[in-house]
Structure 1
Amino acid sequence: MTRSLELVVKLATPKSPKMNTLNNGAFSNDFLERNEILSELDLSNTKYRLGMLVIKAKYFDNVPNNIVELLEHINKKCLSLGDAASKVASIIVINMLTSTPIPSQYKKIESLYKKFGPKAEFTLKKQVEIKNKLDELYEDSYQREQLKSNLKYEKLKLDQLAREKAKSTTLCPKCQGASCDLCTSGHIRITMDDALQLFRMFKIPLCVDSFSITYWEPILSIFRELRCMEKEAVHQMGLKHKKINNTKANYFLLDS
């Protein structure tokens, strides 16, 4: 994430009401208010509107309308695939843009979290310790039932965590975004097979042999187009950010 993009995200989705700019003291006129900075860096009313919309859908969790508006735009571009298919294709594209799993990925990501997730190693180690204690006890030991209950609880806790993670993010559980043998650039990417399975889940009539040409290639084309728009918007945002820094309107965040 670039510095300018990080600034916009922090200002648009502040973690506390203190998030603002320094606006007192002898040089108070040299600083912009939070809304002024956002107005300067927001490209929504420019030719980079769609790129900005992708950014908002991706990072501005407190504005659900961004997702809806982007979905509507993508759906229009997918209409040639048919009404039902265009809706499924739109879901895939927007989830690719926002690094959010689609339902057909849930089991795969859940399984990976159980093996490689940050808390998985600790929980699995705890399960082994409990199993070892069970092996050391006599069959009629009063402690066995308690240990079995503890073992069941640890398994359920890991299962629940893995399910929650599988539905919320494609961030690789093994490398946590650093990139490894399990992922692409730190994320469990949506594959053509994942897309095909989602179409099947929605019972969309299709020919498996021609799925790549009929559906997958148009999906990738729209995704790449919007990703290019997003990158261009981020670049333009950086230029505006630089311009702000070169004027008297410097800013200082109280809560970064």
Structure 2
Amino acid sequence: MRQHGLSVPVIDTGRPHSARIYDYLLGGKDNYRVDQQAGDELVAAAPQERAGARANRAFLERAVRHVVGAGVRQVLDIGTGLPHSPNVHEVALEAAPDVRVAYVDNDPIVTAHADALLRSSDTIGVALADLRDPRAIVEHPHVRDVIDFDRPLALLLTSVLHFLTDAHRPERIVATLRDALPAGSYLVLSHATDDFADCSAAQAVYDTATTPLTPRSHSEIGKFFEGFELLTPGLVSVPSWRPDTPSSARPAAIGVYGAVALKTS
């Protein structure tokens, strides 16, 4: 496996971190007491938060299966979060044994866990980098070791853009990444919304964490897909994106939108 090769910054375990909160909501063990407390506060304020995390993860798995089934053999997962089985590379490799995956995150705990998990692989890379500097991600040597930007790939931005404020100009960031993708590439994106319920209580919890939460509307999230063609059924609540189960077996609308889109030119 390609090591991220960067000096590791000091890990802040005194404040909750979005990746570790998400890990806790999914039932993981790679989190600290502060993350557990924040997760409990989230669920107390918004009981659908745990179901939302699970629905988002299920959407990610379905989307990865789809893009690999469509012929993509490279996956760039930015804001990957802590490992959860099945991981992105496990889902992708089950669909096609020649898939290459690059994981990118700005949390050194995430990259440390990924290093340990994937040390024996030479087709999976891990890079410690920040979405707020998209050009550095595209040019990162350990991303480039795995991803060939002259060939179609799938870019995963699942539950990460809502941790960027408007001041970070997330549309510009996505556009920079889009422009690095060749035709035939896919964008898999999910994003928290307050279209279905008030998110102010959840935002208050994340205000105490290392990254605030910025939910966006359907129209605001739709702007991230400029330059792409949305696949059916478009931008929908994540349980409704090509579900594996009948509608009667799925939960009501979850406050996370998701979509998969194709870059045609």
TM-score range for the pair, normalised by the shorter chain length? under 0.3
Q: Which has the higher strand share?
A: 2
Higher-helix-fraction structure:
1
TM-score by length of 1: 0.28
Which is bigger in relative contact order (C-alpha 8 A, separation at least 6)?
A: 1
With the length of structure 2 as denominator, give the TM-score of the two structures.
0.27
Work out which of the two has the higher radius of gyration on C-alpha atoms and give 1 or 2: 1
